[in-house]
Structure 1
Amino acid sequence: MEMIIAHTPDPDDAFMFYAMFEHKIKTSFEYRQVVKDIETLNKEAINNLYDVTAISANGYIRVSDKYDLTASGASFGINYGPIVVAKKQIDLKNAVIGQPGTYTSSFMLYRMFNDSREYKEIRFDQITNEILKGTIDAGILIHDEQLKFQDKGLIKILDLYDQWRAYAGDLPVPLGFNAIRKSLSLEDKLKYREDFENSIKYAFDHEDDAVKYAMKYSRYNDFELERKFIKMYVNELSIDFGERGKKALEMYYKKAAERNLISPFTPVIV
């Protein structure tokens, strides 16, 4: 049996899938990959195109009738999360904010705690350029863009993790997930999870090789930069986020519902 897996061209995703796609481990299925940015995958998920797809915590809400979340492969921010950058300190309430996608976890996180005059959806790797051009006042940064904005003369004006921590304590920030087709048998879902968990463990045990593989998707030709980014978002919760990750997700959706951004929502996790 072949499974089609859609993931992002981000080094953390590639790092986790390295052993599966490069046949470093024995797997229950053959795997074929599709690589697209996260907001494209968030939007495509409604069409149920892939057996497994990367999905944002926010994006999952609209496709929970088609997909279950897997407890493996998640990206949680432990002590850090998305940030907001600008040329200088500004009043966010009256600002035009660049956001990396309507269904991204970071945009939902921003709106849980902040209000702004206007939002513009901009591909995540173009947000800093749009700030510099003056088309937006500030932007929400995700992925390895969080590690490069200072090189362009921008400053961090808001750390969304700080706002999350004030609300949720030491729970990690829910960001990226993997979703598996609800129509698959439970047996096949669990076999997939075992393969993916083994792939992540292999990457941890062969870090240099896995980072080297992930570099082919990198936007920056800087091995140590990408290693740093990967280790920010691939952590102990990536193998199995367990009760701690589940609690964080529940808090995330609870806050969004309190702000009337979504209806009350409970994810299905396998």
Structure 2
Amino acid sequence: MFYGMLTGRVPSPGFSIKHVVEDIERLNRRALDPALDVTAVSVHACAHISGYTILRSGSSFGLGYGPIVTAAKEMTIEDVKKSRIAVPGKMTSAFLLLQLMIGKFEYVEMNFDEIPRAVREGSADAGLVIHEAQLSYGQEGNVKVADVGEWWSSTTGGLPVPLGINVMRTSLGTDVIGRFDRYMRASIEYGMEHRDDAVDYAMQYSRGKPRGLIDKFVGMYVNAATVDMGKSGEQAIRKMFEMGAEKGLVGRTDVTINGA
């Protein structure tokens, strides 16, 4: 998504970019005090942060798929509900979505890339996995015991699974936000048009995963909804907060989406 922007292949309309690479839950927590002008956050984090406007471009939506729960052995959904589950952070969308699916559960927080080993070695009964571990869990010695993305899709009539978004400080004004959103969109479109080069560039953030797996993962989460979330993306975000509020899992449901 950022290949065109960060390499200068997509000219900047007056912005100077400093790339900050951190774990998504750390970015969620940093957004509680809006210091970064633009940041990636989990959709769920928007229930806890203020002062940011959601950009239309750069979002990660699952189209019928999303986070999964893995374990070292087969489990029923009732087993999962009773398990101590490793999660990648309380502010992640995956955490809220799993709560919507199975209700409140016992959990332990850890970095997302530590979860597969914790499950395999038994320090957690199950793990809520995001990113490439959605594809590599079998190679890591675990099995899939629940599919949060499939549940969301069937429950909402096919709405995309709301996972990650980009937000920009509202105080910068609608004109600046609009220009940056278009800049982000142009970078994403450039990356999609030069996919092989963009994936090569992204491999520096691959966490040791093979290129084939990264390429497949990119194909899952850099899609038409990434270019622009569209009405279905807006509906999915608002639906997740409505469902969360009904169950007492989120305290606020009002979000500001650029252009909505």
Q: How many residues align?
A: 254
Matched to 2:45, the amino acid is G
User: 193, 209, 213: which one pairs with 2:201?
Assistant: 213
* CA contact 1:73–1:197 (8 Å) conserved in 2: yes
C-alpha displacement of 1:266: 2.3
User: 44, 47, 51: which one pairs with 2:30?
Assistant: 44
Q: Which runs of 4+ in 1 moved over 4 A?
A: none
Q: Which residue of 1 aligns with 2:242?
A: 254
Instruction: Confirm or deny that 1:240 pairs with 2:233.
Output: no
Q: Which residue of 1 aligns with 2:4?
A: 19
User: 38, 48, 70: which one pairs with 1:62?
Assistant: 48
Matched to 1:157, the amino acid is V
Q: CA RMSD in A?
A: 1.1
Matched to 1:51, the amino acid is D
User: 215, 218, 223: which one pairs with 2:211?
Assistant: 223
* CA contact 2:64–2:149 (8 Å) conserved in 1: yes
Matched to 2:216, the amino acid is K
Instruction: Confirm or deny that 1:200 pairs with 2:188.
Output: yes
User: 2:239 & 2:105 partners in 1: Cα distance?
Assistant: 26
SS at match of 1:31: coil
Matched to 2:154, the amino acid is A
TM-score (norm: length of structure 1) = 0.91
Q: Specify every segment of 5 or more residues in structure 2 that has no aligned partner in the other structure, as ranges.
A: none
Q: Which residue of 2 aligns with 1:150?
A: 138
Instruction: Confirm or deny that 1:93 pairs with 2:76.
Output: no
C-alpha displacement of 1:32: 1.1
User: 2:223 & 2:136 partners in 1: Cα distance?
Assistant: 21
Matched to 1:17, the amino acid is F
Q: Which residue of 1 aligns with 2:154?
A: 166
Q: Which residue of 2 aligns with 1:178?
A: 166
C-alpha displacement of 1:117: 4.5
Q: Relative to 1, partners in 2 of residues 1:117 and 1:26: Cα closer, same or farther, differing over 3 Å?
A: closer
Instruction: Confirm or deny that 1:72 pairs with 2:57.
Output: yes
Task: Give deviations 1:121-143, integer Å, cap 9, x for gaps.
Answer: 01100101111221110000100
User: 1:70 & 1:116 partners in 2: Cα distance?
Assistant: 30
TM-score (norm: length of structure 2) = 0.95
Matched to 1:20, the amino acid is M
